[in-house]
Structure 1
Amino acid sequence: MEEVIKLDSIEQYNKLYGQKTLHPLVTVVDLSDVSTFPTHAIMNFGIYALFLKQTHCGDLRYGKQTYDYQEGTVTSFAPGQIVEVNMEPGMKPLCQGLLFHPDLIKGTSLGKEIKHYSFFSYASNEALHLSDEEKGIFRDCLEKIRMELIRPADKHSKRLISRNIELLLDYCMRFYERQFVTRTKVNKDILVQFEELLDKYFQSDFPQMQGLPTVKYFADSVHLSPNYFGDLVKKETGKTAQEYILEKLIDVAKEEILGTNKSVSEIAYELGFQYPQHFTRIFKKTVGHTPTEYRVIR
């Protein structure tokens, strides 16, 4: 089995790429002038990282997916993610980036908000594509952090570094939301697939075999991560993916209740519920009546 490089500290990453460590918990890197770097490696990140790539120089893989990682894209990694790096022969890793250890943000406002930056848990083939103006903003934020790292530390250093990282992440969230808007046609196509998959799921034996449909099931089916898929559905429909699934489930349930003589228990099992009481509870919460009441009043 191929060795996995564990990157649990800033020092480990800097050594791997021949970078100088100015702070034990955070670094700003420019890999355009590195002399030592792995041409092929599998890395297990124990730190947060964001990279702005300047040109295509190789492939990054996360699981079975390859990054959509061309010039002017940003990729992000969170602790626990494993990434495979494959450099093309004769190429260098031309990119700028920020890496920081989780300990850096403990006790800060960023530490409390870090889970809200959902792009850290996106699948790696969902890179963020930046405009020239957005690239400039990204680099400017990196420069502000770098300036704090090269000056002597004082009582303000940790807070200023943390706030500048937070500023960069906030801009990235804005860029991600913009990307959902500019890729409307692609998103609409995915929603069409989602609808078709929902129909097929409830028309098949999947509910009885696999249970209630999950967001992950549909995200995997369209080759997106659950977080990215959920954000896409929310942006396009105003509903969460889970709400969208529930709406479809209730619609199918109504058809079965009114269009057949099946018992409530039979309908519940066919929809994927393990217990009829669970189905009744969800149906009443959503519709305002139990399945039995709904059958009578309709």
Structure 2
Amino acid sequence: MSDAIKTYDSISELYASFGGKLEQDVDFTIHRNEELSPNYPVKSPLFRTSYYTVLILRQGRGRYLIDDQSYVTRDNTIFFSNPGHVKGFEVYETLQGYIITFSESFLKQYVHENIFDEFPFLIAEVAPPSYPEREIFQIFDDLGGLLLHEYQSDSAYKYKVIGCLTVVLLLKIKERFWKAYDPLTEALTSSDITLTFKRNLEAHFRDLLASKCDRLFQVQDYAQAQYLHPNYFSTVIKYKTGKSVNSWIAEKTIAEAKALLARSSESVQEIAFRLGFKNASHFSRFFKKHIGLSPLSFRQSLSSVSNPDP
């Protein structure tokens, strides 16, 4: 199914796929929902995005799909979604409100360099919509109006102001809907990105050892397998497992290398090639860095343990 699902890097690119046109010069947009889809009902194909979306829906009816979940959109809906998921939507009647999109790079440039520390819900994997009371919803509706006004302005401080208003928006989302969110707690219950990464890691090493692959996958390979930006993917794995992607790859590589050195009679060079290294010297340096012994010394130490001197 994933081969037929396109990933869009901006809402203008997504909208163009539906035959529309949106101007966009930075990785932030805000539009009135009622201006985007003149004809109803509307049903989108499935797609992925590499940006965040906040939907502030004052009025209207529809349905939003994310992975295998379906959520109702109705009056006074606030919906947040992050990159990477398979998405789709159905709109049954005119939507009124705002749709806001922004990228990780925009957040780091205009909001905060360590954005995930301040707003950990940005890596949440489960984000159902919220249906706040009208008084609470009005806060978000007003913020949408302020953001749109600034977005349409010619101010020299336009994006700095938008960055400040985005901070307020994220703080209000955190305060009202994600105050107690802890990515590590979510990881203990359900973390699709983490679980998929671990499965892909195991599958890749099976392919290496079966000579179905001749190179060791890096962060970008595992991120691409889930249609995620490498920075975002790395952040999710680090937050939810306590270890970086490179640490997972290194630990798995060392574990397989130890097993081959202990169980097989292959040379160090042959083992290096089986594990995706281009040359034995690179493998030896990598192994010694993590173990403190060269591969040959490690193998000899095993022999001395199993065959002690009389």
Match of 1:96 among 82, 95, 98: 98
Amino acid at match of 1:52: L
Q: Which runs of 5+ in 2 are unaligned?
A: 1-7, 73-77, 303-310
Match of 2:270 among 266, 271, 287: 266
Partners of 1:208 and 1:270 within 8 A in 2: yes
Partners of 2:44 and 2:90 within 8 A in 1: no
Give the match for residue 147 of structure 1: 146
Give the match for residue 181 of structure 2: 178
Task: Determine if the alignment matches structure 1 residue 74 to structure 2 residue 86.
Answer: no
Partners of 1:280 and 1:290 within 8 A in 2: yes
CA deviation string 1:133-161 (max 9, x = no partner): 79988873562362366599877665333
Give the match for residue 259 of structure 2: 255
Amino acid at match of 1:75: S
Give the match for residue 212 of structure 2: 209
Relative distance call for 1:91 and 1:155 in structure 2 (3 A) is closer
Match of 2:249 among 221, 245, 251: 245
Give the match for residue 306 of structure 2: none
Q: Which runs of 5+ in 1 are unaligned?
A: none
Give the match for residue 57 of structure 1: 62
Amino acid at match of 1:209: K
If the length of structure 1 is used for normalisation, what is the TM-score? 0.60
Amino acid at match of 1:74: F
Q: How does 1:154-193 map onto structure 2 within 5 Å?
A: 159-169=160-170, 175=178, 178=181, 180=183, 181-182=185-186, 184-187=188-191
The alpha carbon displacement at 1:164 in A equals: 1.3
Amino acid at match of 1:255: A
Cα separation, 1, equivalents of 2:197 and 2:147: 46
Cα separation, 2, equivalents of 1:207 and 1:136: 61
Cα separation, 2, equivalents of 1:202 and 1:74: 36
Q: What percentage of aligned pairs have identical amino acids?
A: 20
Partners of 1:51 and 1:97 within 8 A in 2: yes
CA deviation string 1:25-52 (max 9, x = no partner): 876445369882573678x9xx976332
The alpha carbon displacement at 1:192 in A equals: 5.7
Give the match for residue 308 of structure 2: none
The alpha carbon displacement at 1:170 in A equals: 6.3
Instruction: Give the secondary structure class of the aligned counterpart of 2:286.
Output: helix
* Mean CA deviation greater in 173-182 or 229-238: 173-182
If the length of structure 2 is used for normalisation, what is the TM-score? 0.58
Cα separation, 2, equivalents of 1:136 and 1:76: 26
* Mean CA deviation greater in 175-184 or 240-249: 175-184
Relative distance call for 1:172 and 1:240 in structure 2 (3 A) is farther
Match of 2:287 among 277, 283, 287: 283
Relative distance call for 1:135 and 1:224 in structure 2 (3 A) is farther
